Amino acid sequence: MTAPRTQGFSFSVVAGEGHARAAVLRTPHAEVPTPTFMPVGTQGSVKGLTSEEVAATGARVMLGNTYHLMLRPGPELIDELGGLHGFARWPHAMLTDSGGFQAFSLGGAGKQPGSLVAASDDGFTFRSHLDGARYHLSPEEAVRVQSLLGADIQMQLDVCPPGASPRDVVETAVRTTTRWAKRALACPRKEGQALFGIVQGACFSDLRLAHAEELAALDPGFDGLALGGFSVGEPIERMVETLHEIAHRVDPERPRYLMGVGTPRDLLDAIDAGIDMFDCVLPTRNARNGQALTRFGKLIIKNAKYKRDPRPLDPECTCPACAGGYSRAYLRHLYLAGEMTVLRLMTLHNLHWYGELVGGAREAIIAGEWARYRDASRARMAQGEV
């Protein structure tokens, strides 16, 4: 395998059990223990929280959304004001996506004719959902924009087909993603910015493995490899099956990042398969919709049974909502009254729980108790609302 090229970036595995592993990812802004969950800050902000509050959940990497930030306020302005680290006052590592998934979600996935995005062999041409202005996102432009955003980790532009796509469509997406990978690697980046390649292939394990090997062999090399194109419509059971077939076979010397996944149970399954890094909007979006995620499963705060419930969301949780003594009855009242305080408290809780989950997984792997931790966590989550 070709060694990664970025100065100031490293990855070292410290322990393993089965395919699960604990490691340390180093960037110019942070030392990140893995497995790690990375909250999504679409507009340079995790909705409702300050950067200090996000960091207090244990997160050491936050995501910025290239598509949204290139439209507003623009990468040049963000660069002028210190990149996303200075602009958002985020002192730890920052990862930015390439904008490709937004092209998929806006222009594909079975949407009606007249969509905002047109794909070509050179990238995506789209009109802004804000003002209709026309943009073109090529592999080179994705690197340029992310360089200005100041990310520790950039993602290559890729093609993400819907989960139910036939094999020929997936094969085309893989070929195009490889061509774009080579173009992205040839682009200049700011010093200290790593670049990850994205492995496509849907749930065709042979395509996934071949693509992972192809991307790992490119010179100059990617600093990490991500698995994209999961949780886009395929059955969850099939996703987990595919992960267990392929994840541990992706280059073991580089971090493995599973993009856009998922539930607490998904994280346990993926760590078991050999994944190191995760991101997903689920914990923050679900919090804003009144769903708390706990070690005992999901809790829907508007349910009538919580009207007089004095307990916190999770009696074992140390987040500001639970440790602060805010009762389910109070949170239910705030939610039904439309008060924004409950959205903040539940967002803090969900992100804190994700941080606890991956932190506990790391400790268990190092202690040689991963299987016990995995099985006990699954059993508790299966209890449902309590």
- Active-site positions read 97, 279
Give the separation between CA 200 and CA 293, rounded to whole angstroms. Answer: 29
Give the position of tokens 């100059």: 220
Give the separation between CA 67 and CA 74, rounded to whole angstroms. Answer: 10
Q: Which two tokens stand for residue 24?
A: 């340390």
Give the separation between CA 307 and CA 34, rounded to whole angstroms. Answer: 39
Q: Where are the beta strands (DSSP E) in 230-366?
A: 256-258, 277-279, 291-294, 297-300
Cα–Cα distances in angstroms (integers) from residue 188 to residues 118, 184, 199, in the given order: 26, 9, 22
Identify whether the C-beta of residue 316 lies closer than 8 Å to the C-beta of residue 295. yes
In the chain, DSSP finds a helix count (H) and a strand count (E) of 15, 17
Identify whether the C-beta of residue 347 lies closer than 8 Å to the C-beta of residue 386. no
Give the separation between CA 363 and CA 379, rounded to whole angstroms. Answer: 19
* Of 11, 39, 33, residue with least CA distance to 223: 11
At residue 328, φ and ψ (nearest 5 deg) are -60, -35
Burial of 380 (0-12, 13-18, 19+ CB in 10 A): middle
Q: Which two tokens stand for residue 203?
A: 């749930």
**86, amino acid identity:** G
Parallel/antiparallel/unpaired status of strands 20-27 and 10-17 = antiparallel
Give the separation between CA 269 and CA 204, rounded to whole angstroms. Answer: 18
130 alpha-carbon distance from chain centroid: 24
* Of 193, 192, 217, 198, residue with least CA distance to 160: 198
